């Protein structure tokens, strides 16, 4: 297919102005109420074709010491074309531009059944698997 894929960095100040295309994408993947998560992101990196988001992730950061990449999704029919790698590279560059060192850019790969390939994808794009235990508060 011949199409131009634009990888766009939406800074927090731009997310509200672009909420329509971002909501169309994220709300098709996540539950009602997710609008708040989108609007409170520090950055959203999105792959766009003809004004439609076909892949995106959110970044939560203090813009000094750490960044957390969350909610990374590429439309299933668009996978395997390097789009995910381009989105991750752009996310890493956005973090570096704020002064965050690579060691403090984190994500959690939750390889649910049928999605075990996620860990391998993240390793291919430069992430290192840690043996630390992730903990969640359930109080």
Question: Domain containing 49 — which CATH number?
Answer: 3.40.630.30
Instruction: Judge whether 134 lies within some domain.
Output: no
Tell the burial category of 47 from Cβ atoms under 10 Å away from its Cβ (0-12, 13-18, 19+): buried
More confident residue, 133 or 138: 138
- Considering its fold, how many domains does the chain have in total? 1
More confident residue, 134 or 22: 22
pLDDT on residue 98: 87
More confident residue, 61 or 136: 61
pLDDT in tens, 63-94: 888 899 999 999 999 999 999 999 999 999 99
pLDDT on residue 31: 84
Average pLDDT over residues 50-55: 96
pLDDT surpasses 90 at 19 = yes
Task: Determine the structural domain holding residue 32 and report its residue range.
Answer: 6-124
Instruction: Judge whether 133 lies within some domain.
Output: no
pLDDT on residue 110: 66
Q: Report the candidate in 131, 121, 126, 135 with the shortest Cα–Cα distance to residue 105.
A: 126
Instruction: Judge whether 71 lies within some domain.
Output: yes
pLDDT surpasses 70 at 1 = no
119-127 contacts, C-beta under 8 A, 24 or more apart: 121/84, 122/88, 124/85, 125/84, 125/85, 125/88, 125/89, 126/88, 126/92
Instruction: Judge whether 130 lies within some domain.
Output: no
Instruction: Judge whether 82 lies within some domain.
Output: yes
How much is the pTM? 0.88
pLDDT surpasses 90 at 101 = no
pLDDT on residue 106: 81
Instruction: Judge whether 135 lies within some domain.
Output: no
Instruction: Judge whether 129 lies within some domain.
Output: no
Instruction: Judge whether 17 lies within some domain.
Output: yes
């Amino acid at each position: 297919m011949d199409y131009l894929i634009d990888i766009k960095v939406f800074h927090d100040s731009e997310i509200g102005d672009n909420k329509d295309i971002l909501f169309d994408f994220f709300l098709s993947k996540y539950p009602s109420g997710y609008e708040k998560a989108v609007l409170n992101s520090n950055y959203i990196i999105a792959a766009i074709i003809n004004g439609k988001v076909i892949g995106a992730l959110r970044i939560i950061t203090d813009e000094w010491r750490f960044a957390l990449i969350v909610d990374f999704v590429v439309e299933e029919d668009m996978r395997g074309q390097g789009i995910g790698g381009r989105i991750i590279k752009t996310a890493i560059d956005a973090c570096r531009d704020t002064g965050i060192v690579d060691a403090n850019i984190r994500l959690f790969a939750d390889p649910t059944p049928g999605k075990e390939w996620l860990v391998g994808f993240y390793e291919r794009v430069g992430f290192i698997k840690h043996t630390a235990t992730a903990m969640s508060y359930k109080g």
